[in-house]
Amino acid sequence: MRAKHLIWFIVLVLSILSINPVLGISIETEAIKSAIGAGDNALFNITVVNDMKYDDKFSLRFSDDVKWTILTDPLSYKFSKFDLAVGESANFLVKIRASPSAHQSYNQYIIGLTVKGVVTKESETAQLVIGYGPQFLSPKEYAALIVANAQVTQEVDPREDMKITVNLRNRNPLNITNLKIQAFSPLFEKETVTELGPLEEKSVVFTHKFDPGQNPVEDKVSIYISRKNSTLVSLQEIYKIVAYSQLEEQRTTKKSFLKKVYNINYKNNGNSKTSETVAFKTTGIKRLFSKTIPDADVKKTEDGRYLVWNIDLEADEEKTMIVVENYIPLLFIFCVILIAVVLARVLRSPVEVKKGAVIISKKQGGIAGMKVLLKVKNRSKRVVRDVWIVDSVPNIAELGSEQQVGSIEPHRVVKHHKKGTLVKWKVGDLEVGEERIIRYQIKAKLAVVGAFTLPAAVIKCDYAGKKKYTYSNRLRFSV
């Protein structure tokens, strides 16, 4: 009886299972790119469907994580759990690339992908098959295993060599021969043929020398790598020929009597227009006797004084500045001064007379008395004979009666209605270098307030048989 019941129970369970099949997780894989070479990415489209009776969170796990670099797109599917309700699906891409440090050999590989439910613990595994190596690639894909990049000098000074470096890497295990490398632009063309060994890396360098006068321009260099008339790689790089200016100076000097002419030539050996400030060193004295063509400004610095021009020069243009130092006017001035000195010495009076005075008394805020001093000296080289001194005292004053010790007595005193009091002294002969001093006092008739002038004294003498007259200075006082 028990055996019979057990058989009926098993039949019932099988009947239920036949009506409701086992539910779980389904994984659909689509190989977008499964054959790759070194450095390439295999690409698979993955769809995960929740066919269970419960909502759940799911996680992904891949096998061989060390040998392969595996990423998802979006990344969150690999590094985070994702929710799927009953009947929902999730779609993402899987990118698989051989890790450079793993040194994978060319072969076929299987990467396991496991999808696991967090709550139900249900899981499902799919296999991603990869063909790694050139034997799995089409001819076109095989050629793409040549990797190249270019390095071009971004800013080129046309006075220096331009350098173009093409870096090649053969990801192919076979030797590649007759590989043509071309680099050209509207300004130059370069070409060479090389070969690449299995998995070899190589750099091909082109250099080009521009004309130093090449105009500044932005240019594009195109680089083509081809084999048997088939272009494998094409690259383009932008570079710029920079502007520069190079000012060259040349000086020539022409000399003549008391005259120098400097020709200063400036030339722009650059490839673009330049604005420069140029200078020529001078001194204050030289500047007085200098003429410039064109006109120059004068600038004073700690180093000295300079003639300065601001010049604009186009490429290959030149200009000449001229500085003329002419000292002939200086010679003329020197001659005039020399003649004047000689004439002054020849024509000047042999006797020098100086007049001085001091106020010795005041009254009611004005001048009441003064002491006058006349100093007479023979400044010639011979004896001056029969020397007379005549001085005048203005009408507002009169000659004092006090005798001055050591002074010569007046020879004659005469009243003049216009000139006042005329006082005359007889000095006699004066030896070479001899000096006489005459002192006298004057008294104001009334206190003098304001300006007061003492006229010049007159010297009359006989010098080398000729009559000579000399006048002293005037004196002016104010109170």
pLDDT tens-digit series, residues 374-395: 999 998 888 999 999 999 888 8
Residue 340 lies in a domain: no
Q: What is the mean pLDDT of residues 328-338?
A: 88
pLDDT at position 469 over 50 = yes
- Under the banding of pLDDT at 50, 70 and 90, the label for residue 84 is very high
C-alpha neighbours within 13 Å on the C-beta side of residue 248: 9
Q: What is the pLDDT of residue 322?
A: 94
**Does residue 452 share a domain with residue 359?**
yes
Residue 94 has what pLDDT?
A: 94
Are 107 and 79 within one domain? yes
Closest by Cα among 366, 358, 359 to 449: 366
Does the residue 6 lie in any domain? no
**What integer pLDDT is reported at residue 17 of this predicted model?**
46
Mean pLDDT of 427-456: 87
pLDDT band at 116 (very low <50, low <70, confident <90, very high): very high
Domain assignment present for residue 341? The answer is: no
* pLDDT value of residue 289: 86
From 241, 270, 305, give the residue that closes a domain.
241
pLDDT given for residue 140 in this prediction: 57
Locate all alpha helices (DSSP H) within 240-351, ordered by sequence: 284-288, 328-347
Render pLDDT for 256-276 as a digit per residue (tens, 0 to 9): 888 899 999 999 888 888 888
Q: Are residues 305 and 397 in the same domain?
A: no
Q: How does pLDDT run across 396-436, given as a tens digit for each residue?
A: 888 887 766 667 888 888 888 777 889 999 988 999 989 99
**Domain that residue 210 falls in:** 142-241
| Residue 6 pLDDT level (bands cut at 50, 70, 90) | low
Token couple for 332: 């003329």
Residue 112: pLDDT band (50, 70, 90) is: very high
35-57 average pLDDT score: 89
pTM over 0.75: no
**Looking at residue 10, what is its pLDDT?**
55
Tell whether 235 and 258 lie within a shared domain: no
CATH code, domain carrying 362: 2.60.40.290
Tell me the CATH number at 45: 2.60.40.10
User: Average pLDDT over the chain, rounded to whole?
Assistant: 85
Confidence (pLDDT) at 132: 84
CATH number at residue 324: 2.60.40
What dihedral do alpha carbons 345, 346, 348, 351 form, nearest 10°? 90
* DSSP tag of 100: G
Amino acid code (one letter) for 221: V
Q: Is the pLDDT of residue 190 over 90?
A: yes
- Whether the Cβ atoms of residue 253 and residue 296 lie closer than 8 Å to each other: no
Round to whole Å and give the CA distance between 177 and 171.
Answer: 14
| pLDDT, position 405 | 60
Lowest mean pLDDT among 188-197, 207-216, 264-273, 441-450: 441-450
| Predicted pLDDT at 445 | 81
Give percent above pLDDT 70 in the chain.
91
Residue 12 is assigned to a structural domain of this protein: no
H helix or E strand, kind and range, residue 10? helix 2-19
pLDDT exceeds cutoff 90 at 60: yes
Between 8 and 152, the more confident residue is 152
Do 229 and 253 lie in a common domain?
Answer: no
Q: Do 322 and 360 lie in a common domain?
A: no
Nearest in space to 181 (alpha carbons), one of 221, 218, 226? 226
> Which of 192, 208, 241 finishes a domain?
241
Q: What is the pLDDT of residue 286?
A: 85
Q: Is residue 343 part of a domain?
A: no
What's the number of domains the chain is made of? Answer: 4
Domain assignment present for residue 203? The answer is yes
Q: Which of 159, 155, 188, 154 is nearest to 271 (CA)?
A: 159
Q: Does a structural domain hold residue 1?
A: no
Is residue 172 packed enough to be buried (19+ CB in 10 Å), middle (13-18) or exposed (0-12)? buried
Instruction: Give the max Cα distance, the chain.
Output: 192
Residues 354 and 311 in one domain: no
How far is residue 12's CA from residue 5's CA, in Å, rounded to a whole number? 11
Which residue is associated with the tokens 């296999």? 127
Q: pLDDT above 90 covers what percent of the chain?
A: 37
Reported as a single tens digit per residue, the pLDDT across 34-45 is 888 777 889 999
The yes-or-no verdict on residue 18 having pLDDT over 50 is no
- Looking at 241, 274, 303, the residue that finishes a domain is 241
- Round to whole Å and give the CA distance between 435 and 377: 4
pLDDT at 22: 46
pLDDT at 101 over 80: no
Same domain, 111 and 192: no
Specify the pLDDT at position 359: 87
The answer to whether position 2 is within a domain reads no
Encode 54-93: b = buried (16+ Cβ within 10 Å), e = exposed. eebebbbebbeeeebebbbeeeebbeeeeebeeeeebebb
Residue range 180-198: average pLDDT?
91
Q: Over the stretch 234-261, which tens digit does the pLDDT of each residue have?
A: 899 999 999 888 888 899 999 988 889 9
What is the C-alpha separation between 251 and 264, in angstroms, rounded? 5
**Counting beta carbons within 10 angstroms of the beta carbon of residue 29, is it exposed (0 to 12), middle (13 to 18) or buried (19 or more)?**
middle
Q: What are phi and psi of 418, to 5 degrees?
A: -105, -45
Does residue 474 sit in the same domain as residue 353? Answer: yes
Q: Give the model's pLDDT for residue 11.
A: 46
Residues 214 and 275 in one domain: no
What pLDDT does 125 receive? 93
Indicate if 358 and 468 belong to the same structural domain. yes
Both tokens assigned to 366: 């004005």
- Asked if residue 231 and residue 188 are part of one domain, the reply reads yes
CA atoms within 13 A on the CB side of 263: 9
Rg of the Cα atoms in the chain: 59
